[in-house]
Structure 1
Amino acid sequence: MTGLAFGQAPPPSLPLRFLLAAPAWGVVAGAWLALHGTEIMASRWTPATLVLVHVLALGVLGNAMLGSLVQFLPVAAGSPMPGRRAVPALHLAFNAGIAALLPALVPGTAVPASLAAVLLGGSLCAFATLALAGLARGSGPFATRAGIAAALLALLATMAMGLRLLAARHGWLGPLAWPLVDLHAATGIGGWMLGLLVAVGATAMPMLQGTAAWTTRQVAIAWALLAAALVVAAAAAAGAVPTPAWRVVALPLAPLALAAWWRQWRAPHHRGPVLRRFWASGCIALLFAVAIAAWPEPLAFDRTLAVAALVLAVALPLLVVGMLLEIVAFLAWIRLRQQVPRGTRIPGVGSLFPAPDKRRVWTLHVLASLATVAAVARPTIAGAAGIAMAWAYAATLRGAWRCWRTPLSS
């Protein structure tokens, strides 16, 4: 824990509200898949599929990543967010915006899409602005701050494209002159989600998993790979390169996944065994996604749905949920330090969220992941996959809440 600025840590309840909302939305995602699995596996364009994608991308991954940033920026990046009193309101607006967006994606619903646009657009703009201001004034490593800033800019670009797509869908503006959906997805996954994981992982992997420290050059190479993928995505969306070039967009994920797995394998100190399992599983899923995306021959199942399932429903959640469990335990430990008198011995971070409980959560997520991917080829098991997903996230939420409540009963 050396090098962490505990004195700058926000009240633990600030990031916790996001981190608990993430698995709660995961339960919703599982229930939705269980109820609408056949429609979801029929096409990427059905309203049911769009709802599930946004529950995972915004509800699960969005909440987990925003909550992590609330904690990571001041403690590990030396960049406290100004105006942190606004965080509870931003959390409420963001999640209310998700709740308003989902029915707006289904034709014939009465919920106004403009409400979702205002709540989501306003909350994400405000959060990113506060975070960028903190990074500009921060004192942490430049590579870390620059990487997080780039990810936040990608988040804003993703949000702007999403609002434009929503406007076209509801007739506020004219139809788009060129396809934007795939670029919206590529920027959100490659720039925002993977970009933030690279920036944060360069610090978190040595600290939590005992890997060798990342050099500035290695972080720059990782970001160069992501940037190259986004350039190809933009060119393909604009029609400047053939449509099959979209398959090339996935290729930079392979060296990133292999590098993370290799650093774990060659770690000089083996820490966080369950977190290592989460990350190893997530990296394997990313490699399978790359292989399916780049496979030159036709496949017996929907290629796009398979890649989306592997990335959005499996790989990224495994990477993020593993970190979420560690952060919740860390927050509970900080809270316990604040509660007990100075000089009192307190349990270590690892004992607040026991390893057997984490392993059970990991096992449930792996089983749910296998079922979800299998449902792409066999839509008849999508209902069972949804139940498994909801169960995994319910166990995550229960474990995180029990860990948080431990200091009160100790």
Structure 2
Amino acid sequence: MSGLAFAQAPPPSHPLRFLATALLWGVLAGAWLLAGGGALLLSLHAPATIALAHVFALGVLGNAMLGSLVQFLPVAAGSPVPLARGVPLLHIAFNLGVALLLPAIAWHAPGCGLVAAPLLLGTLMLSAGAVLVAVARGNGARTVRCGIGLAAAALLAAIGLGGALLAMRLGWLAPALPLTGLHAGFGLLGWVLGLLAAVGSVVMPMLQGTRPLPPAWLWGWLLLLGGVLLVVLAEAVGIALPIPLVRTLPAVPLLLFSAAVIAMQLRAPHRRGTLLRRFWALGAVALAGAALAMPLPGNGVLAGVLVLAVGFPALMLGMLLEIAGFLAWMELRRRMPRGTRVPGVGSLSGEPHKRRAWELHALAALALVAACLWPELARAAGALVLLAWLHAASALWRCWRSAMAWQPQAPAA
């Protein structure tokens, strides 16, 4: 934990509210698949399927990423977030917007969309702007801050594109350019993968014992990711590009990120964080599978499931459970008198519960892949997804409860 600026950490309740809500959205995703069954895995363009994708993209990943940034930027990147006092209101407005977006997409409810659009546009634009200001003012590693800044800029683009797509779906705008691929590219590759790579360059050496990546490699990654986003943009606006390039290039960052994670783990000189390593290995394998499936026709649903329902959530959940242990430890230190020796992070985070969470998510991942091949298994996969996220929520609750219930032992007579 050397190099962490705990004095700049926000109140633990600020990131915790986002992290806990992410787990609840994961439960809803499992329930949604359990209720909808195989019909949700037949086409990427079905309204209910698009809504389910946004449960993962905004509900699960959005909350987890915003909560992680609230903690990571000031503590690990030397970049205190502006408007920190508004985090509780931001959390409520964002999640209300997500909740209203789902019926607007799934059941074409214009009234819900009319409220969801300004809530989501406002909260995400404010969040992205605050992140850009934070990394510009920060004093952490420049490559990490530039990576986070690129991710925040991609989020701004994805927000605008998402608002336009919602307006087209609800009949407020006439359909224009095919923006779906552009929206997904900036949202998933630019925002989610870009942020994971930037944060991972810090947390993998710190929490998994890997060797740090050379700065030149990180700069090369940023140039590659920016170039891929430019290709996605060019294809969307109608610039003629070779079809093999258009189909394969977006898969390159996923495959490169996955290969880097696995290689760094295998060559780690000081292996630690066993369960975090397993979560990241699961996520990396899923993203690599998605990258291999993307260029092949007819595998869009499988690639989407591997990215949105397995790969990114596994990476996020591993970090979420680690962050939860740090938050509980920090809250316990804050509550105890100065000089009191408190339990370590490992004893608060509940390793057996995290191990069961990984096992359930790995089983759910296998079930989701099987359901893509045999849609009649979709309800069983939904039940496993629901159970996996319920257990993760329980693990978070147990971690926090153990910290709040801890009392120092009285000295022996």
TM-score (structure 1 length as normaliser): 0.96
Question: Are residues 108 and 288 of structure 1, via their aligned partners in 2, closer, same or farther at CA, if it must alter by over 3 Å?
Answer: closer
Partner of 1:219: 218
> Residues of 2 paired with 1:104 and 1:257: CA distance?
34
How do 1:372-387 and structure 2 match up within 5 A? Answer: 372-387=368-383
> Residues of 2 paired with 1:108 and 1:338: CA distance?
47
Structure 1, residues 3-27: CA drift from partner, whole Å, max 9, x if none? Answer: 0001000000000000000010000
> Residues of 2 paired with 1:153 and 1:212: CA distance?
28
> Residues of 2 paired with 1:113 and 1:241: CA distance?
35
The amino acid that maps onto 1:262 is A
Partner of 1:354: 350
Partner of 1:263: 264
1:188 is displaced (CA, Å) by 0.7
How many residues get paired?
A: 404
> Residues of 1 paired with 2:349 and 2:403: CA distance?
11
Partner of 1:364: 360
Partner of 1:40: 40
> Residues of 2 paired with 1:217 and 1:358: CA distance?
35
> Residues of 2 paired with 1:22 and 1:204: CA distance?
20
Partner of 1:84: 84
1:402 is displaced (CA, Å) by 1.2
Structure 1, residues 298-331: CA drift from partner, whole Å, max 9, x if none? Answer: 5xxx410010001111110111100000000000
> Residues of 2 paired with 1:237 and 1:199: CA distance?
26
Partner of 2:287: 286
Partner of 2:316: 320
- Whether contact under 8 Å (1:211, 1:264) holds in the other structure is yes
The amino acid that maps onto 2:88 is P
How do 1:141-220 and structure 2 match up within 5 A? Answer: 141-176=141-176, 178-220=177-219
- Whether contact under 8 Å (1:251, 1:294) holds in the other structure is no
1:242 is displaced (CA, Å) by 4.8
1:373 is displaced (CA, Å) by 1.2
Q: What secondary structure is seen at the aligned counterpart in 1 of 2:294?
A: helix
> Residues of 2 paired with 1:243 and 1:131: CA distance?
36
Q: What secondary structure is seen at the aligned counterpart in 2 of 1:205?
A: helix
Partner of 2:403: 407
- Whether contact under 8 Å (2:27, 2:387) holds in the other structure is yes
Question: Are residues 5 and 108 of structure 1, via their aligned partners in 2, closer, same or farther at CA, if it must alter by over 3 Å?
Answer: closer
- Whether contact under 8 Å (1:103, 1:111) holds in the other structure is no
The amino acid that maps onto 1:97 is G
- Whether contact under 8 Å (1:367, 1:388) holds in the other structure is yes
- Whether contact under 8 Å (1:229, 1:250) holds in the other structure is no
- Whether contact under 8 Å (1:18, 1:63) holds in the other structure is yes
- Whether contact under 8 Å (1:329, 1:350) holds in the other structure is yes
Structure 1, residues 243-281: CA drift from partner, whole Å, max 9, x if none? Answer: 552333112321221111110111111110000000111
Question: Are residues 67 and 397 of structure 1, via their aligned partners in 2, closer, same or farther at CA, if it must alter by over 3 Å?
Answer: same
Q: What secondary structure is seen at the aligned counterpart in 1 of 2:286?
A: helix
Partner of 2:410: none
The amino acid that maps onto 1:352 is L
- Whether contact under 8 Å (2:19, 2:64) holds in the other structure is yes
Partner of 1:60: 60
1:108 is displaced (CA, Å) by 4.6
Q: 2:338 aligns with which of 325, 342, 352?
A: 342
> Residues of 2 paired with 1:196 and 1:358: CA distance?
23
Structure 1, residues 35-55: CA drift from partner, whole Å, max 9, x if none? Answer: 112221121111110111000
1:294 is displaced (CA, Å) by 3.1
How do 1:105-120 and structure 2 match up within 5 A? Answer: 105-109=105-109, 111-120=111-120
- Whether contact under 8 Å (1:236, 1:246) holds in the other structure is no
> Residues of 1 paired with 2:110 and 2:230: CA distance?
38
Q: What secondary structure is seen at the aligned counterpart in 2 of 1:65?
A: helix
Q: Which moved more, 1:76-85 or 1:229-238?
A: 229-238
Q: What secondary structure is seen at the aligned counterpart in 1 of 2:249?
A: helix
1:225 is displaced (CA, Å) by 2.5
Q: Which moved more, 1:222-231 or 1:146-155?
A: 222-231
The amino acid that maps onto 2:38 is T
1:199 is displaced (CA, Å) by 0.7
1:219 is displaced (CA, Å) by 1.2
The amino acid that maps onto 1:276 is R
1:375 is displaced (CA, Å) by 0.6
> Residues of 2 paired with 1:288 and 1:175: CA distance?
33
The amino acid that maps onto 2:332 is L
> Residues of 1 paired with 2:40 and 2:78: CA distance?
43
**Identity level (%):** 52
> Residues of 2 paired with 1:200 and 1:172: CA distance?
38
1:131 is displaced (CA, Å) by 2.0
Cα RMSD between the aligned structures? 1.3
Structure 1, residues 215-264: CA drift from partner, whole Å, max 9, x if none? Answer: 22121122223223222222222332255523331123212211111101
Question: Are residues 136 and 258 of structure 1, via their aligned partners in 2, closer, same or farther at CA, if it must alter by over 3 Å?
Answer: same
How do 1:90-105 and structure 2 match up within 5 A? Answer: 90-105=90-105
1:354 is displaced (CA, Å) by 2.2
Partner of 2:409: none
Q: 1:311 aligns with which of 307, 313, 316?
A: 307
Structure 1, residues 91-133: CA drift from partner, whole Å, max 9, x if none? Answer: 0000000001000002353643110101000111111222222
- Deviation above 4 Å: which 4+ runs of structure 1? none
